[in-house]
Amino acid sequence: MKIIVTGGSGLLGSALKDAVGTAAGTDTWVFLSSRECNLLDHAQVHERFGKENPDYVIHLAAEVGGLFKNMNQKVKMLEHNVLMNLNVLQCAHAHNVQRVMCCLSTCVFPTTVEYPMKEHTLHQGEPHESNYAYAYAKRLLDIQCQTYREQYSRDYFCIIPTNLYGPYDNFNLEDGHVIPSLIHRCYLAKKNKTPFYIKGSGTPLRQFLYSSDAARCILHFVSNGARRNVILSVPEKDEITIGAVATLISKYMRYDDVRFQPEFSDGQHKKTADTAYLESLLPPTFRFTAIENGIKQTVEWFNTHVECARK
């Protein structure tokens, strides 16, 4: 089987590439970055899919960012994601690709949904105002998959990860997600001997998923099959505050001058996700990486790759 992975040089794509490299198997994997195929260009996507003739597409590419990128670049977050998703699914269908796994995010769930969030509640209310442009683009991707399933019997579905982090992430101070941004901020604070500032109160709760764990889930689904949307997350008991995450980062960066800035927005207070369906799919021996170990490994990776890391 030949498998194309979009977003092949991103956080999750890189983790998946590492996981494929250590797994036994006969599948052929093609990891595409934006340099190799611009997903915003329909002609490029169509040509590349025709050249590769894949049996399976894992669509991980997206225009992503943290809270403040979602708030300040709404048009880009909406239009780039809609266009990429449209091009990938149209071209997959045109080249008779039967199976496509797409990637959403739990941040696109409604703000008023009953917790913990379940796969079927994705569209039962409006998303949080801080990321509604990105959220609606991603929700539309789910609708696209559904229409291809219903009209053409395609096996197109979505994984819905909680907050991903790990090596190869985007450590940009303004546009990155919370953990990589905080790691970079702590690194600079230590380097410049200034306080390690965290925007917000530090009280919001999140389930953080180490990228290599998400990659192992994807590999399992490719081999064993998931035929409907599935949330990827650590269990609810592993939910942790942003403040506790910042403390762990400062611990492994070995710099303890931590200060919160409650005048900045916290965003949504919690986004607790249900993991019952995921647990029914994974083998009983599957273990998630503890947040302490994941942050330790990510801090060490950043310190080693600080010159070449995306930032």
CATH number of 245's domain: 3.40.50.720
Q: How far apart are CA 248 and CA 63, in angstroms?
A: 28
CB within 8 Å of 104: residues ≥ 6 apart: 122, 138, 139, 141, 142, 158, 159, 160, 161, 229
Domain contains 92 = yes
CB atoms within 10 A of CB 268: 18
Please report how the helices 291-304 and 178-192 are oriented relative to each other, as an axis angle in degrees rounded to 10. Answer: 50
What percentage of the chain reaches a pLDDT higher than 70? 99
Partners of 165 in the β-ladder? 210
At residue 75 the predicted structure's pLDDT band, cuts being 50, 70 and 90, is very high
Q: Is residue 309 part of a domain?
A: no
Angle between helices 74-94 and 132-152 (to 10 degrees): 20
Number of domains into which the chain is organized: 1
- Whether 242 contacts 198, CB under 8 Å: yes
Q: Give the pLDDT of residue 176.
A: 81
What single-letter amino acid sits at 293?
Answer: N
Tell me if 311 is assigned to some domain. Answer: no
Angle between helices 242-253 and 178-192 (to 10 degrees): 40
Asked if the model's pLDDT at residue 265 lies above 90, the reply is no
pLDDT for position 107: 85
The answer to whether position 278 is within a domain reads: yes
Stretch 291-300: mean pLDDT: 98
**Residues catalogued as catalytic:** 134
Which residues lie closer than 8 Å to 68 by C-beta, 6 or more apart? 174, 175, 199
Is residue 25 domain-resident?
yes
For residue 262, what pLDDT is reported?
Answer: 92
Coil, strand, or helix at residue 41?
A: coil
284 located within any domain: yes
Alpha-carbon span 114 to 121, nearest angstrom = 8
Q: Which pLDDT band, with edges at 50, 70 and 90, does 24 fall under?
A: low
Give Cα separations from 20 to 4, 34, 104, 282, 284 (angstroms). Answer: 13, 20, 21, 17, 21
Residue 177 has pLDDT above 80, yes or no: yes
CA–CA gap between residue 233 and residue 294 (Å, rounded): 14
Q: How many helices (H) and strands (E) does the chain have?
A: 10, 12
Contact 198, 261 (CB under 8 A): yes
pLDDT digits (tens, 9 = 90+) for 76-118: 999 999 999 999 999 999 999 999 999 999 888 998 888 899 9
**Residue 130 — very low, low, confident or very high, per pLDDT cuts 50/70/90?**
confident
Give dist(CA 218, CA 232) in Å, integer: 9
- Residue 217's pLDDT is 96
Q: Which domain holds residue 21?
A: 2-304
Q: What is the mean pLDDT of the chain?
A: 93
Q: Lay out the sheet containing 2-6: strands in order across.
A: 28-32, 2-6, 56-59, 99-103, 155-161, 230-232
**180 close to 169: Cβ distance less than 8 angstroms:** yes
Find the mean pLDDT for residues 140-148.
97
* Backbone angles phi and psi of 70, in degrees to 5: -60, -35
pTM confidence score: 0.92
